[in-house]
Amino acid sequence: MDGPDDARCGTSLGGVSDLNVLVDELVERPVEEGVTLALLIQQRGNVVVERYGVQPENIFQPAIEITAESTLTSWSMAKSITHAAVGILVGDGLLDVGAPAPVAEWAGTPKEAITTLQLLEMRSGLRFVEDYVDDQVSHCLEMLYGESGPSHAAYAAALPLDHEPGTHYSYSSGTTNIVARILGDVVNGGPGGEPDERQVAMESFLHQRLFEPVGMTSAIPQFDAAGDFVGSSYVFATARDFAKFGELYRNDGVTANGERLLPVGWVDHARRPVSHDDENGCDYGRHWWMWPQIPGSLACHGHEGQYIVVAPDRELVVVHLGKTDAAAAPQLRARLRAIIDHV
């Protein structure tokens, strides 16, 4: 893979100096707009921009200089990694997303009509408040950090059914963790089992079937106390490895080595919009976002300004990692769009 300096000498970027200005404006933006810890831009698989920042000090740790070797959290970008894991099992013939989701505690209830596809579309109908403000009701905070019990999926699956499945969009980390437990059941040979055994089975699957073929050598998935992948929120990796995941989707599920990892059509499956989010102005497909201003795009979104943006028509993958408050997220997305438009 070529380095940033190689691309600066090429012709694919047009006005490189103007691009550098846009990058500088993003990385050096006022602190009230947020902090960029990593910005990586790849075109045709080659790195054309790579910048790193400093993790500000806090009560837990001093300031930390971020480098190409630093592993940073995905937050909700992990949802798109969960979509890839589902695709692998679909390709193996081990999971039918159009069938009712195999959730044992839903048997004999109206919830048993919920399909795995509706879970991927965030249209299960289950109640779930996706909020990150401490003084507000938040099923997300309760699930991840509260007294929700050892299984994130069990907590989310037990919440009331407020809408007929497939009729109402509501973004939900709980929904993803139900999907992640389904994945764990499949790779573990069935539901239940000891947490340690479930974790080992799912961790091995993620590394052997996804991370290693893609080249994500730094990827570290996290698990709940029941041994299930926290597919809603927790994969740690370097910016370069997150870019490799974006490249998998830019190349229609085929790795850099030419191996087809995802079934034919699975990337387009993610790109099919089923809802529009008025808050962020983006369309939502199946555990992936789409930016309407960028035709054919796919995007992973994570809390506090984590993004992987895939623009196949421009042969681009853009990774941004950092800490940006929700109020400043529109400015961050606008800056990223300006960079993408310029490349």
Q: Which helix (H) or strand (E) holds 254?
A: none
Average pLDDT, the chain: 93
Domains parsed from the chain with CATH numbers: 72-303 (3.40.710.10)
pLDDT tens digits for 206-258? 999 999 999 999 999 999 999 999 999 999 999 999 999 999 999 999 999 99
The pTM of the full predicted model, rounded to 2 decimals, is 0.93
What are the start-end ranges of the H helices in the chain? 4-8, 16-27, 78-91, 116-120, 139-145, 152-157, 173-187, 195-206, 212-214, 239-250, 266-271, 329-342
Q: For residue 62, with 0-12 CB atoms within 10 Å meaning exposed, 13-18 middle and 19 or more buried, which class applies?
A: exposed
What are the tens digits of pLDDT across the range 134-158?
656 799 999 999 989 999 999 999 9
pLDDT tens digits, 74-103: 999 999 999 999 999 999 999 999 999 999
Cα–Cα dist 64/101, whole Å? 43
Per-residue model confidence (pLDDT) at position 203: 98
The per-type count for the chain, helices as H runs and strands as E runs, is 12, 13
